[in-house]
Amino acid sequence: MNEALLRSLTPSVLGILVRRGADFAAAEDAVQDALVEAVRVWPADPPRDPKGWLVTVAWRRFLDQARADAARRRREDRIDEEPEPGPTPAVDDTLQLYFLCAHPSLTPSSAVALTLRAVGGLTTRQIAQAYLVPEATMAQRISRAKRTISGVRFDQPGDVATVLRVLYLVFNEGYSGDVDLAAEAIRLTRQLAAAIDHPEVAGLLALMLLHHARRASRTAPDGSLVPLAEQDRGRWDTESIAEGVEILQAALARDRLGEFQAQAAIAALHADAPTAEETDWVQIVEWYDELAALTDSPVVRLNRAVAVGEADGPRAGLAALAALDASLPRHAAVAAYLHERDGDLATAARLYVEAAHKAANLAERDYLTRQAARINARRCH
């Protein structure tokens, strides 16, 4: 059973049903039914035209449901009768589906869930497992999302930036359950890049590839976090790095800089350094300046303070940090690191403990707690 093929066909099959007159919510349900039927039937009887098979089965499911629902009978009169099986249209509605699933009226969590199901072809169970929520909860989230966009015209132009933010949210979820969301986000971003010629789409794809290349080195065998400076660079995926750099260079050459291109440039500089000590921090600070100008994000300025501390010394980094709100996530951790580099171990230890209490997850909390213990041990000797 070729699950990858099924998932790659999902958006185009859904688009065909919508163009034939089905509303998005009903069409999406019908396509999911067709995918389930394909999993059951195809291993013993694979079709010669997989996409045509899915369209035919999904359209039949939609018509059956339309006829069974009294509230939809008037609309059924406006729907073309079932077409004869044959070649499916060449038009690709994948891009419009991305826009629809990332509609501004949806919450980020709903947009992510709907994108994974309608564009990614994942089941509700898979999405629920990936987000560690009950399947019924995820089903309600997806149903609400479909109802929210039910009246949106399929051919309206969408916002690329919103789509990219949704895909980046998917990527940052990483891995849980039986779905690798980071890999899924890369697949969907590749698909988007094939449908639209946009430098920021390329920038996001490059950023994902460069970050994903370091994945194997980010945790120790016991599951503890390994910071970038301590990672075994021999375990980085050089093919993904090379591809990411190539995609980024082509995007930058178009001279339409965006935030994902700038982030990818920073990731590329880290990937290019043979050792942590050889990192080009001066150039990284320059890219953070570009990124801050594009986004005016406090988180970007926090990361810039770290880079300034590496390029110009810890006191310069602390000066940059002083201009930021101390309630920012990771502010205490960054301050602890810079104070340690400046030799103020007592302040560093106190701030590492404070950062551990504010940590967003257990792995980060454990890492920061170990840092505090390490510094206190140094102070005792």
For 140-173, what is each residue's pLDDT tens digit? 999 999 988 887 776 666 789 999 999 999 998 8
| 211, two tokens | 């970050």
Rounded to whole angstroms, the Cα distance separating 155 from 157 reads 6
pLDDT at 96: 83
Kindly report which listed range (6-10, 206-210, 283-287, 308-312) carries the lowest average pLDDT score: 6-10
Residue 147, φ and ψ in degrees, nearest 5 = -65, -40
Q: State the average pLDDT over residues 358-364.
A: 89
363-368 long-range contacts, CB within 8 A, separation 24+? 363/219, 363/223, 363/224, 363/225, 364/225, 366/224, 366/225, 367/224, 367/225, 367/227, 368/333, 368/336
* Ordered alpha helix ranges (H), the chain: 3-20, 24-41, 50-68, 73-76, 94-101, 108-114, 124-130, 135-148, 160-173, 181-195, 199-212, 238-252, 259-272, 281-295, 298-312, 314-322, 331-341, 345-358, 362-379
Q: Degrees (nearest 5) of the Cα angle 260, 263, 269?
A: 140
What is this structure's pTM?
A: 0.84
Q: Are residues 76 and 127 in the same domain?
A: no
- Rounded to an integer, the average pLDDT of 334-349 is 97
- Assess whether pLDDT exceeds 70 at residue 317: yes
| Average pLDDT value for the chain | 89
Is there a single domain that holds both residue 128 and residue 80?
no
Exposure string (b/e) for 198-210, b if CB count within 10 Å is 16 or more?
bbbbbbbbbbbbb
The whole-number pLDDT of residue 78 equals: 54
299 belongs to a structural domain: no
Residue ending a domain, among 66, 91, 116, is 91
Q: How many domains does the chain have?
A: 3
pLDDT of residue 70: 53
What is the predicted pLDDT for the residue at 92? Answer: 56
Contact 352, 379 (CB under 8 A): no
Residue 22 lies in a domain: yes
In this prediction, residue 205 carries a pLDDT of 98
Mean pLDDT of 347-370: 94
Q: What angle do CA 65, 74, 81 make, to 5 degrees?
A: 60
Q: Is the pLDDT of residue 277 over 50?
A: yes
* Residue 7 sits in the same domain as residue 85: yes
What's the confidence (pLDDT) of residue 20?
A: 86
pLDDT-derived band at 288 (thresholds 50, 70, 90) equals very high
Q: Say whether both 171 and 80 belong to one domain.
A: no
* For the chain, percent of residues with pLDDT exceeding 70: 91
Tell me the Cα Rg of the chain.
24
pLDDT digits (tens, 9 = 90+) for 109-137: 899 999 999 988 888 988 988 888 899 99
Where a domain ends, among 91, 111, 134? Answer: 91
52-56, 170-174, 350-354: range with lowest mean pLDDT: 170-174
pLDDT band at 72 (very low <50, low <70, confident <90, very high): very low
With b meaning 16 or more CB within 10 Å and e meaning fewer, what string describes 72-96? eeeeeeebeeeeeeeebeeeebbbb
Question: Residue 155: which domain range?
Answer: 93-196
The verdict on residue 68 lying in a domain is yes
Measured distance CA(307)–CA(289) in Å, rounded = 11
Strands 175-176 and 179-180, how do they pair?
A: antiparallel
Asked whether residue 86 carries a pLDDT value surpassing 50, the answer given is no
Do 30 and 22 meet the contact criterion of CB atoms below 8 Å apart? yes
58 falls within a domain: yes
- Mean pLDDT for the stretch of residues 185-196: 92
pLDDT at 138 over 90: yes
Name the β-bridge partners of 180.
175
Residue 165 lies in a domain: yes
CA separation for the pair 357, 90 (Å, rounded): 55
Judgement on whether residues 70 and 148 belong to the same structural domain of the protein: no
Q: How far apart are alpha carbons 216 and 226 in whole angstroms?
A: 10
Which residues touch 96 (CB under 8 Å, ≥6 apart)?
Answer: 15, 154, 155, 158
Query: Is 54 in the same domain as 80?
Result: yes
Predicted pLDDT of residue 179 = 76
Is residue 100 in a domain? yes
pLDDT at 71 over 90: no
The answer as to whether 367 is a domain residue is: yes
Q: What is the pLDDT at residue 264?
A: 98
Q: Is 40 part of a structural domain of the chain?
A: yes
Residues 111, 128, single domain; the answer is yes
In the chain, % of residues over pLDDT 90? 65
pLDDT, mean of residues 329-346:
96
Residue 178: its pLDDT value, please? 66
Q: Is 153 in the same domain as 169?
A: yes
Same domain, 186 and 98: yes
Averaged over 235-260, what is the pLDDT?
97
pLDDT in the model for residue 85: 47
Structure confidence at residue 91 (pLDDT): 47
Domain final position from 176, 196, 216: 196
